[in-house]
Amino acid sequence: MDFDLFEPDEDDDILSVVNIEPTQIPNDCGGVTETIPEFHCTGEDSMNSQFSSESFVKNVFFQSYSNARNKAIEEATLTKYDFQKANMNSGAVNTYLFGEACMNIQYMLASLQGAVGNQNEQSYYLRRRHVTMLLHIVLQSTHSEQWEFLQPHLCRLRALLNNCVQVDVLKSIYFANSCKGNECNIPAYHLLHGLLEWKFLDLCILQKYDSSNPDNTDGIADDEKKETTCNVLIEQIENIFDILLTCSIYLFAKKRSPELLFTSPFPCTCIKEMWLLMQFAIEKWHLKFPDGETLTFWSTFNKAMQKIKGNMENLGLTPLSYCEFYNWIQYALVRLHGYRSNGQYEGANYTRATNEDAQNYEFCERITQQFLNANPSEEQLRIYIGIQTPILLEWWPPKVNIAMVLWEHFHKKLNSSFFIAGSAPSNLAVACVSGRAYVDKYRNLLSKPPDANLSSYTLFVLLMGKTLQRLLAGHAQHQAQKLLGRIYTKFSAQKFLALNETGIHHLIELFLVLALCGDFNDLSGKLKDKLLSIGLDKITGPKQVAVTKGHMALWILYAEHQYDLTDYITKVLQQLSAIRNDLAVSKIIADSLLDIFDHADTFQRGESLLVGSWIPNFLNNCTPVEQERTLEALHMMFVKIHNCEQHFLEINNDLMRALNTSILPFIKQQYVNSFSHWLPILASDFCAHSFAVTDTQNFQKLFSYFSEQQTSNRYAVTQFVLHVLESERKALVDHTIIMQVWLRSLVLLTANNEDVLKLSKIVVKLSEFAFMTNIKDEDDLLKAKEPLCIFIASVGKTYDATTDHSKRSTIANNFNAYIRNFEKWLNSDLKLEKSEVTFRFYSFIAIVIFNCPSIVYSKSKITCFFHVAFTRYILPTSIQMGKPPEGKLAQLVHKIWPVLVQGIGRLNFKSDPYITKTLSDLIQKWTPHFKISTNARQVARPFINCLQSDNQDISLFVFEKLTALFLSTQRRQADPNACLVITIYQEVVDAISSNNEDDDENAVRRLQTFLKGCSFATLEHIMMVDEIVPSRPLLLELFKRIFNSPVYQKSIALKDLIREHLRLLTKKHLSYYTFFYFELLTKLCSISYEVVEDILPFLMEEIQIVEQKRGAGEDNRIRGCLQKLQQNIRLAKQK
Interacting residues of 275 by C-beta distance below 8 A, sequence separation 6+ = 244, 266, 332, 333, 336
487, 514 in Cβ contact below 8 A? yes
Rg of the chain in Å (alpha carbons): 55
Render pLDDT for 954-996 as a digit per residue (tens, 0 to 9).
999 999 999 999 998 887 888 899 999 999 999 999 999 887 6
453, 375 in Cβ contact below 8 A? no
Interacting residues of 1008 by C-beta distance below 8 A, sequence separation 6+ = 1051, 1053, 1054, 1057
739, 763 in Cβ contact below 8 A? yes
Q: Which residue type sits at 348?
A: A
Render pLDDT for 374-405 as a digit per residue (tens, 0 to 9).
999 999 999 999 999 999 999 999 999 999 99
248, 325 in Cβ contact below 8 A? yes
Render pLDDT for 813-868 as a digit per residue (tens, 0 to 9).
999 999 999 999 998 888 888 889 999 999 999 999 999 999 999 998 999 999 99
Please say if the pLDDT value at position 668 is more than 60: yes
Half-sphere exposure of 91 (CA within 13 A, CB side): 4
Distance CA 507, CA 605 (A): 27
Query: Phi/psi of residue 41, each to 5°?
Result: -70, 140
Among residues 868, 890, 888, the alpha carbon closest in space to that of 879 is found at: 890
Interacting residues of 663 by C-beta distance below 8 A, sequence separation 6+ = 611, 615, 616, 634, 682
Q: Is 286 left (phi over 0), alpha (psi -120 to 50) or beta?
A: left
Please say if the pLDDT value at position 25 is more than 50: no
Domain ranges of the chain: 10-20+54-219, 256-396, 398-532, 821-932
What local confidence, expressed as pLDDT, does residue 24 receive?
35
What local confidence, expressed as pLDDT, does residue 1115 receive?
81
Distance CA 890, CA 763 (A): 35
Q: Which residue type sits at 372?
A: L
Q: Which residue type sits at 30?
A: G
Please say if the pLDDT value at position 11 is more than 50: no
Supply the DSSP string of 401-467, one letter for each residue: HHHHHHHHHHGGGTT---PPTTS-GGGS-PPPSSHHHHHHHHHHHHTS---TTS-HHHHHHHHHHHH
985, 1038 in Cβ contact below 8 A? yes
> Is residue 140 helix, strand or coil?
helix
816, 865 in Cβ contact below 8 A? yes
Distance CA 77, CA 141 (A): 12
The residue that leads in pLDDT, 239 or 225, is: 239
Q: Which residue type sits at 808?
A: R
588, 435 in Cβ contact below 8 A? yes
What local confidence, expressed as pLDDT, does residue 226 receive?
59
856, 849 in Cβ contact below 8 A? yes
Full 3-state SS string of 907-940: CCCCCCHHHHHHHHHHHHHHHHHHCCCCCHHHHH
Distance CA 1089, CA 1066 (A): 16
Distance CA 247, CA 954 (A): 112
Please say if the pLDDT value at position 2 is more than 50: no
Please say if the pLDDT value at position 293 is more than 70: yes
What local confidence, expressed as pLDDT, does residue 301 receive?
96
What helix, strand, coil percent values describe the chain, rounded to 5?
70, 0, 30
Q: What is the mean pLDDT of residues 648-665?
A: 76
> Is residue 958 helix, strand or coil?
helix
- Average pLDDT value over all residues in the chain: 87
Please say if the pLDDT value at position 118 is more than 70: no
Share of the chain above pLDDT 90, in %: 57
Among residues 414, 528, 534, 511, the alpha carbon closest in space to that of 464 is found at: 511
Render pLDDT for 678-735 as a digit per residue (tens, 0 to 9).
999 999 999 888 754 445 557 888 999 999 888 888 899 999 999 999 988 888 888 9
Distance CA 206, CA 202 (A): 6
Interacting residues of 841 by C-beta distance below 8 A, sequence separation 6+ = 747, 748, 825, 826, 833, 873
What local confidence, expressed as pLDDT, does residue 450 receive?
83
Among residues 178, 155, 134, 187, the alpha carbon closest in space to that of 41 is found at: 178
pLDDT band at 15 (very low <50, low <70, confident <90, very high): very low
Distance CA 666, CA 663 (A): 5
What local confidence, expressed as pLDDT, does residue 1012 receive?
93
State in Å, rounded, how far the first CA of the chain is from the last one.
144
145 CB-contact burial (10 Å; exposed 0-12 / middle 13-18 / buried 19+): exposed
Q: What is the mean pLDDT of residues 589-600?
A: 91
Distance CA 41, CA 713 (A): 76
Please say if the pLDDT value at position 596 is more than 60: yes
Please say if the pLDDT value at position 124 is more than 50: yes
Render pLDDT for 49-83 as a digit per residue (tens, 0 to 9).
888 888 888 888 877 666 656 777 777 777 777 77
Among residues 113, 270, 256, the alpha carbon closest in space to that of 176 is found at: 270
What local confidence, expressed as pLDDT, does residue 73 receive?
78
Helix 1000-1024 vs helix 1031-1044: angle between axes, to the nearest 10 degrees? 150
The residue that leads in pLDDT, 219 or 1106, is: 1106
Q: Which helix (H) or strand (E) holds 721?
A: helix 716-725
Please say if the pLDDT value at position 745 is more than 90: yes
Render pLDDT for 140-170 as a digit per residue (tens, 0 to 9).
877 777 778 888 899 999 999 988 878 778 8
1083 CB-contact burial (10 Å; exposed 0-12 / middle 13-18 / buried 19+): buried
The residue that leads in pLDDT, 29 or 984, is: 984
pLDDT band at 227 (very low <50, low <70, confident <90, very high): low
Bridge partners (DSSP) of residue 78 are: 83
> Is residue 970 helix, strand or coil?
strand
Please say if the pLDDT value at position 1124 is more than 90: yes
Supply the DSSP string of 623-690, one letter for each residue: -HHHHHHHHHHHHHHHHHHHHTHHHHHHH-HHHHHHIIIIIHHHHHHHHHH---THHHHHHHHHHHT-
Among residues 532, 620, 628, the alpha carbon closest in space to that of 576 is found at: 532
Distance CA 543, CA 503 (A): 10
Distance CA 105, CA 996 (A): 118
Among positive and negative, which fits the CA dihedral 89, 92, 95, 96?
Answer: negative
Supply the DSSP string of 234-265, one letter for each residue: HHHHHHHHHHHHHHHHHHHHT--GGGGGTS-S
Render pLDDT for 904-942 as a digit per residue (tens, 0 to 9).
999 999 899 999 999 999 999 999 999 988 999 999 999
* Runs of H (alpha helix) within 967-1095: 978-994, 1000-1024, 1031-1044, 1046-1050, 1052-1069, 1074-1087, 1089-1094
Among residues 540, 61, 109, 544, the alpha carbon closest in space to that of 341 is found at: 61
Which pTM was predicted?
0.76
Distance CA 784, CA 764 (A): 13
User: How far is residue 1071 CA from its own chain's centroid?
Assistant: 91
Please say if the pLDDT value at position 470 is more than 50: yes
